[in-house]
């Protein structure tokens, strides 16, 4: 379903088996070196969601190849390149779209974590951002391209949902005001929420 121009939500896109495999892989990717970390924002704040990066290391306003602990960033795995291609197919991309994905950003939310309204503008590529939700349901706030305030639409993202943000929606403000604690499918063995985004940085290796 097209939520806004270029923003397509495909509920329940990942079956439970695939969700379990992804959660297991994310746990591995979260291990040090270059594992899960806390992100400090330039304004002196701290993000409440914990972050893991693959392919490129993201800091606010900057991509690099070196993690905060000085280790090289983990590689972008071929399985995620294939997942991106399938997601862009499902979104309705043209043949060949979906081959340029080179980084993943994993956000781990506990019951109290949230994410303020922001735009994702670090990437040089206009390729859509691919979002996969795992674990607890969240309230996702999808706004406009002008400011972080109204008008915006609140919707729930559930475990297994695919959401692709391209076209005019690529630069929309968005955030996660809250996590609905205890709503994760019990078979996942996950407390909290895990969001996996796949991106094309448009940067050279
Ligand atoms: C719309 N993550 O990592 S996913 C982020 O659930 C981020 O962890 C949220 O915002 C999360 O930057 C939201 C949905 C999402 C991701 C990226 C977008 C929506 C987007 C980029 C552009 C427009
Ligand atoms: Fe974002």
What ipTM score was computed for the predicted complex, to two decimals? 0.97
Has residue 34 been placed in a domain? Answer: yes
Give the pLDDT confidence of 1-21 residue by residue, as tens digits. 999 999 999 999 999 999 999
Number of domains composing the chain: 1
Ligand nearest to the CA of 192: 1
In a domain, 145, yes or no: yes
- Ligand 1 pocket at CB < 6 A: 105, 107, 115, 120, 129, 131, 163, 165, 169-170, 172, 174, 176, 195, 197
Each residue of 105-139: pLDDT tens digit?
999 999 999 999 999 999 999 999 999 999 999 99
Ligand 2 centre to CA of 168 (Å) is: 15
> With contact defined as beta carbons under 8 Å apart, do 195 and 106 qualify?
yes
Q: Is residue 128 part of a domain?
A: yes
Strand pairing report for 129-135 and 193-199: antiparallel
CATH number at residue 56: 2.60.120.590
What average pLDDT score do residues 169-181 get? 98
204 in a domain, yes or no? no
User: How many Å apart are CA 76 and CA 205, to the nearest integer?
Assistant: 11
Q: Confirm whether 205 is domain-assigned.
A: no
Confidence of residue 37 (pLDDT cuts 50, 70, 90): very high
pLDDT one-digit tens code per residue, 74-93: 999 999 999 999 999 999 99
* 149: containing domain: 2-199
Provide the pLDDT for residue 115.
Answer: 98
Per-residue pLDDT averaged across 93-101, rounded?
Answer: 94
Phi first, then psi, for residue 197 (nearest 5°) are: -110, 140
């Amino acid at each position: 379903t097209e939520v806004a121009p270029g923003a397509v939500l495909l509920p329940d896109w990942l079956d439970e088996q695939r969700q379990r495999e992804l959660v297991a892989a994310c746990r591995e990717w979260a291990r040090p070196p270059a594992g899960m970390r806390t992100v400090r924002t330039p304004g002196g704040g701290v993000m409440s969601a914990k972050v893991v990066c693959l392919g490129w290391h993201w800091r606010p306003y900057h991509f690099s190849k070196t993690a905060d602990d000085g280790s090289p960033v983990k590689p972008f795995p071929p399985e995620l390149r294939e997942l991106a291609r399938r997601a862009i197919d499902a979104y309705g991309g043209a043949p060949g779209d979906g081959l340029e994905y080179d980084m993943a950003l994993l956000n781990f939310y506990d019951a109290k974590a949230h994410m303020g309204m922001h735009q994702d503008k670090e990437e040089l590529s206009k390729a859509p951002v691919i979002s996969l939700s795992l674990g607890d349901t969240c309230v996702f706030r999808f706004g406009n391209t002008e400011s972080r305030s109204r008008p915006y639409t609140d919707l729930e993202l559930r475990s297994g949902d695919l959401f692709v943000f391209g076209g005019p929606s690529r630069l929309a403000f968005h955030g996660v005001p809250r996590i609905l604690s205890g709503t994760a499918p019990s078979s996942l063995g996950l407390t909290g929420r895990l969001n996996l985004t796949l991106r094309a940085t448009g940067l050279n290796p």
